[in-house]
Amino acid sequence: MRMPMIALVAAVGLGTISASTIYSAEPTKATFLVTGLHCPPCTNTVQTSLSRVKGVKSVAVNWNTKNAKIEFDESVLPAQALAAAIDGTPHMMGSGMRYGAWLALKVPSVSDEASGQKAKDALAKVEGVKTVAVYPAQHSLGVLFAGKGTISSQQVIEALAREGIEASNY
């Protein structure tokens, strides 16, 4: 009776390993600060547009905070491409207005102008990052990407890590 029991335990163990390999690509949960929201229905315009983009798992745009909480697969849709999709959403008020998106990052060490500048310098080297906004009171950064490209939120976080700056998605 002992041998079959051991064999069963081994089989269950192998099953667990292969399952975790298959499901290792966890979706990214991130917050984007959305610009150009003119009125509450604009949140629906952006939400509906993004829900049709391949790689987006869920999206919720909040009118009060102007934040979009987005769950997405960066192997299909990197953060830079997601920002471009928001940017490319036709504005409900017509072509005279535009939506835009900044990736929000939690950066605990950012607390004043000097620490903010250090983070800005670290990201100035990253191709695809256009502008970095510093929010010392919120210990956070806003990252504006340049046009189309494939920079992921993880690549931005890693660029900060290389300069000893800890960061994470909101």
Q: By three-state DSSP, how is residue 163 classified?
A: coil
Counting residues that bind Cu ion (by CB under 5 A) gives 5
Q: What letter does residue 40 receive in the DSSP assignment? A: T
Q: Toward Cu ion, which CB reaches closer, 92 or 146?
A: 92
Among the residues of the chain, which ranges form H helices? 2-22, 41-51, 79-87, 113-124, 153-162
Count of residues in the chain: 170
User: Which 1-60 residues touch Cu ion, going by CB under 5 A?
Assistant: 38-39, 41-42
Q: Toward Cu ion, which CB reaches closer, 76 or 92?
A: 92
Q: Toward Cu ion, which CB reaches closer, 41 or 88?
A: 41
> Could you say whether residue 124 binds Cu ion (CB under 5 A)?
no
Q: What letter does residue 109 receive in the DSSP assignment? A: T
* First CA to last CA distance, the chain: 52
Q: Toward Cu ion, which CB reaches closer, 61 or 134?
A: 61
Task: Out of 76, 92, 126, 146, name the contact with Cu ion by CB under 5 A.
Answer: 92
Residue 153 tokens, joined: 């939120």
For binding to Cu ion (CB under 5 A), which residues are involved?
38-39, 41-42, 92
